[in-house]
Amino acid sequence: MKDLIWKLGCIACIPVFLALLLIQPATAGKSKSKPKYTIGITQIVTHPALDANRKGFIDQLEKEGFVRGEDVKYDTRNAEGDMSLASSIAQKFVSQDVDLILSIATPTSQACVNEIQGEDIPLVFGSVTDPVAAGLVDSWDHPGDNVTGVSDWADVGAQVDLITDIVPQVKSLGVVYNAGETNSKVQVQELKKVAPEYGIENIEEASVDTSANVMTSAQSLMGSVDAVWVPTDNTVVSAFEAVVKVCEDNNIPLFAADTATVERGAIGTPGIDYYELGREDGKLAARILRGEDPGEIPVQRMEMNKLYLNPQAAERMGVTIPQSVLDRGTDIVEE
């Protein structure tokens, strides 16, 4: 009797066993393979231009056939203005042996270049004003090592020209910037060179070291300047509304080189599209992942083909943008 029960039990198990055999291949077929590439993305701080750079990069790589979750995965980090954290992020990417790093802005790019020395990890930078002065590359045409990228070099002369077109009486121009940022120092040096050509006699500097003292530094300029200009400075731009408030409260026209600041309250700037800059970064990354040597790919410089204007911001600061300037505008903020 026991033998009969055992045999019947075995017979009853056969359908279950067959069903498991049928299910197993289907389940196995659905398992996803890990992405082939890991890309580390690091940016110095959160603000619209740098965020647009990052988005353009990811979107372009997808167009190039590198699909998130399938071909590539991203490890995205933000130092939020902390240089020690920026260095730690770079170290982490090296220890992970990522396949490529996108570093957005000069300080993060410097941190990454320091960490990848002697490593076989390619670096693409974005939103860097002068990569040579920042020590990232040997030259614009022949970067060398494992580094290349896209610069947001701003034509300072064109920006001063816009300032004097809108506020022709400017004789003293204030500038708020972080002297610890190489990109900002380069722009301020250029400003001092070109300002006399436009009748500006004095450049009044107010330096900051953190976003917390941006308002205080802007206030220190009041009473001694006819207008204020902010370069593409990551520290100041991250707290740009503080500068806007000071200038509005004192009827001092405010201009800035970062195109995203115009929507946030600057009067205007000629500039570039940072999303498009990110797309160019993505194109470079795709070439590198397909086998090209980054050190042999020239650094790219974006064309300044935009004119961003904010007429309402101008009115709040006591000036009117001339119609001749408005006619040239390509992106006019409507509040």
Round to whole Å and give the CA distance between 159 and 58.
30
> How big is the chain by its Cα radius of gyration, in Å?
27
Residue-range domain boundaries for the chain: 37-152+273-301, 156-271+305-332
Amino acid present at 110: Q
pTM of the model: 0.79
pLDDT (0 to 100) of residue 34? 72
pLDDT (0 to 100) of residue 29? 39
Domains 37-152+273-301 and 156-271+305-332 share a fold: yes
**Contact between 112 and 103 (Cβ < 8 Å):** yes
Q: Stretch 31-60: mean pLDDT, rounded?
A: 90
pLDDT at 16 over 70: no
pLDDT in tens, 107-116: 999 999 999 9
Residue 187 pLDDT level (bands cut at 50, 70, 90):
very high
Q: Give the CA angle between residues 129, 212, 136 to the nearest 5°.
A: 20
Task: Output the average pLDDT for the chain.
Answer: 91
pLDDT (0 to 100) of residue 31? 40
pLDDT at 105 over 70: yes
pLDDT in tens, 285-306: 999 999 999 999 999 999 888 9
Round to whole Å and give the CA distance between 156 and 96.
39
pLDDT (0 to 100) of residue 54? 98
pLDDT at 10 over 50: no
pLDDT at 140 over 70: yes
Q: Stretch 2-27: mean pLDDT, rounded?
A: 42
Round to whole Å and give the CA distance between 173 and 46.
27
For the domain made up of 156-271+305-332, the CATH class stated in words is alpha beta
Round to whole Å and give the CA distance between 266 and 259.
9
2: which 2 tokens? 């026991």
Q: Stretch 305-329: mean pLDDT, rounded?
A: 97
- Residue 14's SS3 state is helix
The fold for domain 37-152+273-301 equals Rossmann fold (3.40.50)
pLDDT (0 to 100) of residue 32? 52
129: which 2 tokens? 């004003």
**Least reliable range by pLDDT among 24-28, 55-59, 263-267:** 24-28
Q: Stretch 309-330: mean pLDDT, rounded?
A: 98
